[in-house]
Amino acid sequence: MISHVHVLVVDDDSVITELLGIFLERKGYTVTVASCAAEGLQKIDEQTFHLIVSDVEMPGLNGFEFLERIRDEQPAIGVILMTAYPENHTRATAMRAGADGYIRKPFSLDQFSTTLERAYWNALTRADSLDLEHEEVR
């Protein structure tokens, strides 16, 4: 059961957060939503998340700035960036910035599921690597 996997969905479009929230909950994930990166950062301070799905174009901090803050504070969390403006951002740019997944809106729920699963496994691998590095430092 994947109910132990907690996903934060961050998007200023409430239709997206509602749709992804319902979809993920039906799949068995625990879901929290936020309407902007600042709210997302607050929720990260309050709760533990395994995956974050974030829009790129948002007021205040954009998705890339949000990703940078997450990587600085919680490097093991898996992050997927999504955008409706693929001409402004590429998959390669997102991956170089540290994203575990990238998806263009509109997307199918099958595409989203595949991206989410891949991002989760990337995050687990990174978490194991970080744990090993931490043990070597001791």
For residue 128, what pLDDT is reported?
78
Interacting residues of 40 by C-beta distance below 8 A, sequence separation 6+: 8, 10, 34, 52, 54, 66
9 close to 24: Cβ distance less than 8 angstroms: yes
Spans in the chain with pLDDT lower than 50: 134-138
Q: Is residue 111 situated within a structural domain?
A: yes
pLDDT in tens, 61-85: 999 999 999 999 999 999 999 999 8
Tokens of 74: 């919680």
Residue that is written with structure tokens 């999504």 in the block: 82
Residue 16: which CATH number? 3.40.50.2300
Domain count, the chain: 1
Write out the residue range of the structural domain in which residue 117 sits. 6-137
Q: Is residue 69 situated within a structural domain?
A: yes
Q: Is residue 87 situated within a structural domain?
A: yes
Q: Is residue 102 situated within a structural domain?
A: yes
Q: Is residue 89 situated within a structural domain?
A: yes
| DSSP state at residue 11 | -
Q: Is residue 1 situated within a structural domain?
A: no
For residue 12, what pLDDT is reported?
97
For residue 47, what pLDDT is reported?
96
Q: Is residue 39 situated within a structural domain?
A: yes
Q: Is residue 63 situated within a structural domain?
A: yes
Helix and strand counts by DSSP (H, E) for the chain: 5, 5
